């Protein structure tokens, strides 16, 4: 539905930007890149991108000057500029020439996400759908609508969501229901197709990932906030669940 053009003279930046968001979930079906101003002009005319992201300096050229040329051609494109601290004056020039926003390098995933979502809604008159968020009627771990789950399972899920940062266990949940923990665990496993401990860990991991990608909090603080007082234990679970360490995930989210 949407087309994206990314322009930067550093190949690793281009690759990082392509990986920074799940572009397809926002409706971007085609993504093109260019390492030169001349190439950017040609690709923009051929692609007619909905959004174009330019580095403020592309070799000896200025991204905002190329944007100015494209604006003269009246392309139906919304522009974003990336710049470093030392190039802030250039970014101000870019804003004066009508770009929608500028992003400071290294680009944070959360900032990029906010800018893209704002343009989609306000300028492209689109909707975000499920991009970057969860269906409020479906459990984010199980992928099952809540109305298809029993009242008992729904109550267990609610307890996890309310107390995942605390020392919640299957035994403590069973005690509140005045049920045998083994029997309760079997009922949960049958309906959820995963053990209670697996669900709790997955829910904690999703919250940890969100904090790692959208904040600058220390990993130790994030671990504690999602119910892991033991940092080594947190690292082990995180590596096992995502296949990478928390620091690796945070580094890859920034360009």
Tens-digit pLDDT profile for residues 6-33: 999 999 889 889 888 878 778 888 999 9
> Which pLDDT score, from 0 to 100, does residue 166 have?
92
Q: What angle do CA 50, 94, 126 make, to 5 degrees?
A: 25
> Which pLDDT score, from 0 to 100, does residue 243 have?
85
Greater confidence (129 vs 57) lies with 57
Residues 246 and 165 in one domain: yes
Exposed e or buried b per residue across 128-167, where buried means at least 16 C-beta atoms within 10 angstroms of its C-beta: eeebeeeeeeebebbeeeeeebeeebeebbebbeeebeee
Greater confidence (201 vs 241) lies with 201
On the 0-12 / 13-18 / 19+ scale of CB atoms within 10 A, 39 is: middle
> Which pLDDT score, from 0 to 100, does residue 139 have?
86
Residues 138 and 255 in one domain: yes
Res. 88: pLDDT tops 70: no
Res. 233: pLDDT tops 80: yes
> Which pLDDT score, from 0 to 100, does residue 84 have?
77
Residues 171 and 115 in one domain: no
**Which residue, 122, 146, 169, sits at the end of a domain?**
122
Domain residues for 238?
134-255
> Which pLDDT score, from 0 to 100, does residue 80 have?
95
**Which residue, 102, 122, 142, sits at the end of a domain?**
122
Q: What is the mean pLDDT of residues 95-112?
A: 82
Query: What's the CA gap between 229 and 35, in Å, rounded?
Result: 46
* DSSP code of residue 147: G
Q: What is the mean pLDDT of residues 2-9?
A: 95
Q: Which two tokens stand for residue 62?
A: 């200025």
Residues 9 and 117 in one domain: yes
| Total of domains in the chain | 2
Q: Is residue 128 part of a domain?
A: no
Residues 141 and 93 in one domain: no
Q: Is residue 129 part of a domain?
A: no
> Which pLDDT score, from 0 to 100, does residue 175 have?
96
Residues 116 and 151 in one domain: no
Give kind and range of the element (H or E) at residue 8.
none
Greater confidence (55 vs 214) lies with 55
> Which pLDDT score, from 0 to 100, does residue 128 have?
66
Res. 169: pLDDT tops 70: yes
Strand partners, 5: 32, 52
**Which residue, 68, 101, 122, sits at the end of a domain?**
122
Q: Is residue 127 part of a domain?
A: no
Residues 109 and 200 in one domain: no
- For residue 205, give the nearest of 237, 236, 232 by alpha carbon: 237
Query: What's the CA gap between 255 and 253, in Å, rounded?
Result: 7
Res. 226: pLDDT tops 80: yes
Q: Is residue 148 part of a domain?
A: yes
Q: Which two tokens stand for residue 180?
A: 């045998």
Q: DSSP alpha helices (H): ranges in the chain?
A: 11-20, 37-47, 63-72, 88-96, 109-122, 151-163, 170-177, 181-192, 196-214, 219-225, 231-242, 246-252
Residues 63 and 99 in one domain: yes
Residues 164 and 224 in one domain: yes
Lowest-confidence segment of 76-90, 121-135, 176-190, 224-238 by average pLDDT: 121-135
Res. 134: pLDDT tops 70: no
Greater confidence (235 vs 29) lies with 235
Q: Is residue 87 part of a domain?
A: yes
Q: Residue 241 — pLDDT band, cuts 50, 70, 90?
A: confident
CA–CA distance from 29 to each of 26, 91, 106, 112, 150 (Å)? 9, 28, 25, 18, 38
Res. 110: pLDDT tops 80: no
Residues 152 and 83 in one domain: no
Share the mean pLDDT of the chain.
88
């Amino acid at each position: 539905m949407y087309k994206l053009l990314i322009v930067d003279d550093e190949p690793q930046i281009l690759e990082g930007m392509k990986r920074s968001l799940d572009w397809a979930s926002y409706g971007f079906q085609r993504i093109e890149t260019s390492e030169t101003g001349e190439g950017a002009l040609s690709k923009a005319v051929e692609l007619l991108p909905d959004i174009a992201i330019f580095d403020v300096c592309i070799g000896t050229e200025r991204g905002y000057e190329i944007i100015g040329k494209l604006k003269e051609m009246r392309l139906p494109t919304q522009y974003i500029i990336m710049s470093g601290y030392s190039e802030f004056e250039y970014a101000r020039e870019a804003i004066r020439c009508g770009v929608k926003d500028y992003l400071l390098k290294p680009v944070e995933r959360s900032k990029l996400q906010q800018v893209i979502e704002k343009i989609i809604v306000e300028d492209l008159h689109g909707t975000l759908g499920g991009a970057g968020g969860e269906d409020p009627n479906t459990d984010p771990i199980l992928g099952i609508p809540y109305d298809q789950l029993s009242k008992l399972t729904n109550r267990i899920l609610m307890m996890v969501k309310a107390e995942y940062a605390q020392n919640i266990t299957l035994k403590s949940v069973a005690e509140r229901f005045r049920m045998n923990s083994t029997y309760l665990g079997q009922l949960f496993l049958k309906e959820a197709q995963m053990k209670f401990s697996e669900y709790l860990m997955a829910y904690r991991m999703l919250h940890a990932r969100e904090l790692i990608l959208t904040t600058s909090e220390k990993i130790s603080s994030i671990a504690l906030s999602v119910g892991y007082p033991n940092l080594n234990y947190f690292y082990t679970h995180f590596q096992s669940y995502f296949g990478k360490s928390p620091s690796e995930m945070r580094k890859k989210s920034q360009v």
